[in-house]
Chains A and B, each alone.
Chain A
Amino acid sequence: MSNSVLDDEQSGFDRARKRLAPPGVPSNDRARSRLVLDTLVLHLHPARIPKRTLKWTYTWGLGGLAALLVTLLVATGVLLLVNYTPTAPDAYLSILNLRSNIWFGELLRNIHHWSANLLIVVAVLHLLRVFFTGAYRPPREVNWIFGVVMLLLILGANFTGYLLPWDQLAYWAITVGTSLITYIPLVGGSIESLLLGGPEVSGTTLLHFYALHISFIPLSIFLLMALHFWRVRKDGGLTIPRAVDEEMDERPTRVTTIPHLVRRETVWALAWIAIVVTFSVFVPAPLEGIADPAVSPNPAKAPWYFMGIQELLVHFHPFVAAIVIPGLALAGFFSLPFLDHDALHEGIWFRSRRGRSLGAIAAGLSLVLTSAWIVIDDRYLDWSVWLDTWPTVLSNGFLPLATVVVVLALLDLWIEKGLGGTLEERVLFLFTFLAVSLVVLTVVGVFFRGPGMELFWPWSMPSPH
């Protein structure tokens, strides 16, 4: 009687063990793959993948890298929770304590900080990769939308996390950042006070942001990650890379996921863990003095990933800069796969030779036009003074916006009529142009804006103290 129970237990245990770690490793790929068909890895990946999708310069492993960074962030974040007090001003004291009194507290904070910033870069690059290889078009349009929503959530996670150290940097970046919300018509003020839990950034805000940062946003990201991975498989895996003039291969050569893909992913993950950890060992995350509502730094800058918007604020009325333009951009992101839905040229970087040429022209034009426009608007254009009888939302908002839109429309017309561009090529041209514009705006905002949001050369920037 007791023996049979023991047998049952043993066989149950053996079953579980076989599932987790099959005994012995066969020598050929096929047998190996079959053995592990039931393993965890293959809940994520299919058993066999087209050999060409392994191509390193096609995906650059960006999606997997983003997932790795989320994992690193969760691991370090959970550890940091142990030594963090989400009340003002104790939050700041707990960061000081983490720096000077907890073994490796600073290291964990650095890893968390740098991973979070790297995650934004990686997520944006991932989005660009998917756009420029045409991998967002039907049937992948739903997954594109999941991805864009996740990018917004990542920005939200970064922004809420930015406040948690409760230093001057955090306090004023969040004050500036949340003030933008008030320009949403009708409901802006209510949303802002809901988020802040009061009329200004306070201890209540800290608690709100803390709750969002450690529960709501990460949970939403996990859910969307699961959906995102699931859709990748459902939509037939990755788009298959091919050379510019090559026809689409209907029956691509496949290799087993284990070990070919898994090994590559492991190595890539290991390399990036090494990079992030090494960087964090040597470069501490910034921390300024304790938050002081009485003293604003000059300039008070938003976190770097919102500096593109803050740079727009220098040029446009806040309603246009903070609401209309980002709203249009978001609408554009969501409608892209429905606008440009022909699966032609998928799997080719920049779609075609013409696409590459047009992309280069767009990037070059955007670089020079955006930079010139920033300086000219900053120095010479003064719409609200010239049209002082108009409301500033028109004179300094929609009117300059309209001129920008007209320039873009003329460029589009030129691509269509002058160069005979197809719909796909026009979308590519405009997307490239605007993406480079955003980069220029962000770089100018981060490195060229000094006290009073004046333009300075980075090397002659007056020190804020």
Chain B
Amino acid sequence: MNEQQIEIEREGARRIDRRSFLKYSGIAVGALAVAEIGTIGFRYAQPRVAEGDFGGVIAVGAVDDFPTGSITHIPNGRFYIARLDDGGFLALHQRCTHLGCTVPWDQAAGQFICPCHNSQFDDTGDVLNPPAPRPLDLFSVSIEGDIVSVDTGTTISRDDFDPSQAVYA
């Protein structure tokens, strides 16, 4: 192996190095571009929710607007405000946990009765009568000063009613 050959081989090794460097940087740039385009596409499809609409935070009124032991429907928020007898607040999603029908409050019976498959729920949203598999879902309630606000961004599903779910002024 004379010097010339060594030089050629070195040259080859350098070229390969450069080539693989180009290759990997190309792959990196391509992957980054794909990730960015993916992000843009994904975000484009994602809803942006304005305050006060379903999906955002909705201020429903003052604490005293809701008498204890009452159920109030908030149609544009898709939920009921249940003020329990002890003054606790629950925000119950109006959607039946069985197959998604809207559940009306039956004041005479003191129950939510689903028109689709006759699931029944009590005023805390707990299941009285199947086929609903679990109580009505909750939205988180917050009370600042005197104003009751409900975050409709995420539903909270639960297995049972528990007094700790209620929020107090």
Contact = CB atoms under 8 A, between A and B. Distances in A.
A79 B48 contact: no
Contact of B48 (A82, A101, A107, A108): A101
Contacts of A102: 44, 48
A79 to B, nearest CB: 6
Contacts of B50: 101
* Highest count of chain A CB atoms <10 Å: which of B40, B44, B48, B50: B44
A104 interface: yes
Interface string A104-144: 11011000000000000000000000000000000000000
Contacts of A79: 41, 44
A103 interface: yes
B43 A104 contact: yes
A342 B44 CA distance: 54
A82 B47 CA distance: 12
Interface in B4-46: 40-41, 43-46
A104 B48 contact: no
A80 B40 CA distance: 13
A104 to B, nearest CB: 5
A408 B153 CA distance: 71
Interface in A73-102: 79, 82, 101-102
Nearest to B43: A103
A103 B38 CA distance: 13
A54 B10 CA distance: 33
Contacts of B40: 103-104, 107
A356 to B, nearest CB: 40
Contacts of A104: 40, 43-44
Q: Is the interface of A mostly helix, strand, loop or mixed?
A: loop
Nearest to B29: A270
Contacts of A82: 45
Place the interface of chain A in its size category.
under 10
Contacts, number: 18
Nearest to A105: B44
A259 B44 CA distance: 36
* Highest count of chain B CB atoms <10 Å: which of A104, A105, A107: A104
B36 to A, nearest CB: 10
Nearest to A80: B44
A104 B44 CA distance: 6
A74 to B, nearest CB: 15
A103 B43 CA distance: 6
Contacts of B48: 101-103
A102 B3 CA distance: 65
Nearest to B36: A277
A14 B67 CA distance: 70
Interface string B138-163: 00000000000000000000000000
Nearest to B42: A103
B151 to A, nearest CB: 19
Interface in A56-85: 79, 82
A127 B34 CA distance: 34
A108 B40 CA distance: 9
A270 to B, nearest CB: 9
Contacts of A107: 40
A105 B46 CA distance: 11
Interface string A343-369: 000000000000000000000000000
A172 to B, nearest CB: 31
Contacts of B43: 103-104
Interface string B103-137: 00000000000000000000000000000000000
* Highest count of chain B CB atoms <10 Å: which of A102, A105, A108: A102
Contacts of B44: 79, 102-105, 108
A456 B158 CA distance: 72
B62 to A, nearest CB: 30
Nearest to A83: B44
Nearest to B44: A104
A108 to B, nearest CB: 7
A103 B41 CA distance: 9
A104 B40 CA distance: 6
Nearest to B46: A103
A102 B48 CA distance: 7
A102 B42 CA distance: 11
B130 to A, nearest CB: 39
A101 B48 CA distance: 6
A107 B44 CA distance: 10
A108 B37 CA distance: 11
A79 B37 CA distance: 13
* Highest count of chain B CB atoms <10 Å: which of A101, A102, A103, A107: A103
Contacts of A105: 44
Contacts of B46: 103
Contacts of A103: 40, 43-44, 46, 48
Contacts of B41: 79
A82 B45 CA distance: 9
B52 to A, nearest CB: 14
Contacts of B45: 82
Nearest to A274: B33
State the 8 A-B residue pairs at the shortest beta-carbon distance, nearest first: A103-B43, A104-B40, A104-B44, A101-B48, A103-B44, A104-B43, A103-B46, A79-B44
Interface of B: 40-41, 43-46, 48, 50
Interface of A: 79, 82, 101-105, 107-108
Given A79-B44, A103-B43, A104-B43, 8 more contacts: A79-B41, A82-B45, A101-B50, A103-B40, A103-B48, A104-B40, A105-B44, A107-B40
12 contacts: A79-B41, A79-B44, A82-B45, A103-B40, A103-B43, A103-B44, A103-B46, A103-B48, A104-B43, A105-B44, A107-B40, A108-B44
